[in-house]
Structure 1
C-alpha cells in the first residue's frame, strides 16, 4: 500500500470515510502542516462529543491534542516544564524504585501476566506520583481508560466511561484545591503564564489527557517491546548480556511495534495535495504511524527488528507541534522497565505460543490483551 497507494480513502469501523496516510515523508508532512487541524471535529461517522452532555463535551475539547495555535501553544507552554528531558532524567531513581517494588511482588511466582502485573501498573504509578493521585485509585480509572481508548470499537461504553473519568478528575481537583501538594496537579491549578491561568474546563481536560496518554502508551511500549524480545529468546539473551543497548532497543521497539497505530484524527481546513492525491477540505485524515515506521525509503530492512539499528528518528510519538509531550518520560520508563526485568529475571520466557496472544480492538492503540510469561522457565511449544 505504501508504494501503490500511499494516501488512500478508507472506511472506518463507524462507517465514516477517512484518508489514510502510510508513507513516512507524507506522514511527517501531514503531522506538521497547519492545514491539517486538530481543533475541527471530523465530519461523518460517530460524533463522540455529541454523545455526552455539553458540560462534559467542553471538558473533552480543551487540551493540547484538540487544539491548534494559538490555544495549543499556550496550553503546551503551561504544562511543558515537568516533561523537559532534564527534569525527566532526574526521575530515574524513583521510577527504578517503582519497578523494583512491582517485581518484588511477583518474585515468588512461576508464571504471571506481565501486562497486568508490571507493564500497566508501572506507568500508572509513575503518572499517579507525578500528578499527585492516590496510587490506590489506579484500578478505578484503568477500566474507564480502556473503554475510552476502544473508541469506534466500543461506542456504547464510551459515554459512561468518559463521564465517570471526568467526575473522578473533578473530585481530585476539588481535593487538591483544599489541600495542595508538591505535584503536577497542584501546580496546574495555580499555573500562570504571563498572568494566564488554566480555566476549569482546560484544567479538567488537561488532566484527562495526561492521565490517559501518561500511562496507556507506555504500558503498550513495555508490553509490546517485551513480546518482541521474548518471541525470539536470543534477543532477550542479548539484552540481558548487553544492557547498554537498551536506549536503542527501546527506540527500535517503538519503531517496529509502537504503542500507537495511528495519530489522532485531523481535519483538512482546505484542499491539500499529499502523496499525489488531492484531499478535499473538511476530510478526516488518519496518519498511520505504524506504517510510516516500516517505510523502506526511511529504514533499511524495515520489517526486521534490529536491536543495534543505527539511530534514525521515527514517528512513534508523532511529529510537529503535537509531538507527544511525554515522549522522554515514556522512553525512560521503557529503559528502566526492560533493565529491571533483565536483571531480575534473565531466564524469562513466553508462557504461551504466539498465536494464543491477542490484541485489544482499537483504531488508534496497539496494545496486547495479556502477556503471560514464565519468570524463570522455558517457553511453551
Structure 2
C-alpha cells in the first residue's frame, strides 16, 4: 500500500470519535511506511505500539526542529527558525535533561495532590455557573477552557485576565491552516508577553512556579533570561491546550457510552482508570512524537538512516490490536496505563499528573452534580478541530 493509495497525509477522521481509518490498514499491511508531508519533507510513519515505544526510547533520535531532516508539517522560513529559541520539547540531552530537572519537582504526584482542593473549587464554580444558565451551554467556554486555564495561570503566576490572549496565540500556533506569517506573529507575540512577565518576576518574585524557577535559576545558572521565557511559554500553552480538549472530548465520549458513564458515576474511585482509557481512546496529540534520527536504527525490520525524519502516530499505537483487545470500544475497566497519549521516553509529558488530576475532578464532579447532562446536538453536527495539531472541539453545546 502506498501513500498515494491511501490519500495524502495527514489522514482525515471519517468518524470524529475514532482515529483515521487508514491507521488500521497501515498497522496490518504496512506498519512502517514512507510519506510526504505538506512541507515537501519525507518521513517514516510508525503505526504499531511497540515500534513507537522503541523510537521514543532510543538514544539515537533528536527532537531538534531546526534539523533539516526533522518532519515539519509546514515550512518555517530559515530566518524565523534562527530567531526561535528551542523549548524543552525540541531539545536533546544534556540541555533537555538539565531543564527538565528544574521543573520536575513542581509536577510530582505529591505536589499535584496539594493543588487538588483548589482545582475542585474551580470546577465547582464552573459547574454552578452552568446550572444557573438558561438554555444550552457551550461546555468548551463554560468548563473545558476555564478550568485548565485558571489552574495553570494560578500555578505559574500568570494573570488570568490574559487568558484570551494566550488561548488565541496557541490556537494559531497549533492549527495547520494558519497562515505562516500569522503563526510566526503569534510566536513572537507570546515571546514578547513572557519576556515582560519573566522580567517582572526577576525583579519581584512571588509565590508561584515561575518565580520559584527564577530563584532556582539564580543558584544553578541553568537558563538565561530567554531560556526562562521559553520555559514559561511551553508550560503555559502545554498546561491548558491539551487538557481543555480532553475535557470536552471526554464528556462526549462518556455521554456516547452510557454504560461506561454509569460505571463511573456508580463508583467514582474508577476515575483514574477512566481517565487513562479516555486518553488512550482519543489520543489528541497524535503527531507530537516526531523525531529525526541521529544514527542508523532498525525498527520492525526496516532500516531507518541517520538524518531521516520519523513520526510515531500515538493514536494508531493506542488502537493497536496487539496491545488492546477490541480497541475501538471505550472500556474504563481496561486499565490501559501503557498508552502513548503522554508520549514515552525522556520527553514524556512532564505535566501528566496535573492533567490527569484535573480530568478526574472534572468528570466526577460534572456528572455527579448534573446527572441529566445531555448533548444539545448530535455528534455528527459538532465542530471538531480537524485542522489542529491537537484534536478537540471548537464548541460543545449541552443541556443541564
* Corresponding position of 2:157: 132
Alignment of 1:163-312 (within 5 A): 163-192=188-217, 195-312=220-337
Computed over aligned residues only, the root mean square deviation of the Cα atoms, in angstroms, reads 1.9
Q: What TM-score do you get using the length of structure 2 for normalisation?
A: 0.88
Shift of 1:133: 0.8
Contact 1:125 1:135 in 2 (8 A): yes
**Residue-pair matches, total:** 371
* Corresponding position of 1:78: 102
Q: What TM-score do you get using the length of structure 1 for normalisation?
A: 0.92
Shift of 1:363: 6.2
Shift of 1:151: 4.2
> Equivalent of 1:64, from 88, 91, 106?
88
Shift of 1:42: 4.5
Q: How far apart, CA to CA, are the structure 2 residues paired with 1:21 and 1:274?
A: 9
Contact 1:99 1:336 in 2 (8 A): yes
The SS at the match of 1:20 is strand
* Corresponding position of 1:379: none
* Corresponding position of 2:76: 48
Contact 2:289 2:314 in 1 (8 A): no
The SS at the match of 2:27 is coil
Unaligned runs of at least 5 residues, structure 1: 376-381
Shift in alpha-carbon separation, 1:29–1:200, aligned structure 2, 3 A:
same
Deviates more, 1:246-255 or 1:256-265: 256-265
Unaligned runs of at least 5 residues, structure 2: 1-25
Shift of 1:13: 2.8
The SS at the match of 2:132 is coil
Q: How far apart, CA to CA, are the structure 2 residues paired with 1:134 and 1:72?
A: 28
Q: How far apart, CA to CA, are the structure 2 residues paired with 1:205 and 1:300?
A: 41
Contact 2:257 2:330 in 1 (8 A): no
Q: How far apart, CA to CA, are the structure 1 residues paired with 2:159 and 2:65?
A: 35
Deviates more, 1:299-308 or 1:273-282: 273-282
Deviates more, 1:186-195 or 1:207-216: 186-195
* Corresponding position of 2:11: none
Contact 1:51 1:159 in 2 (8 A): no
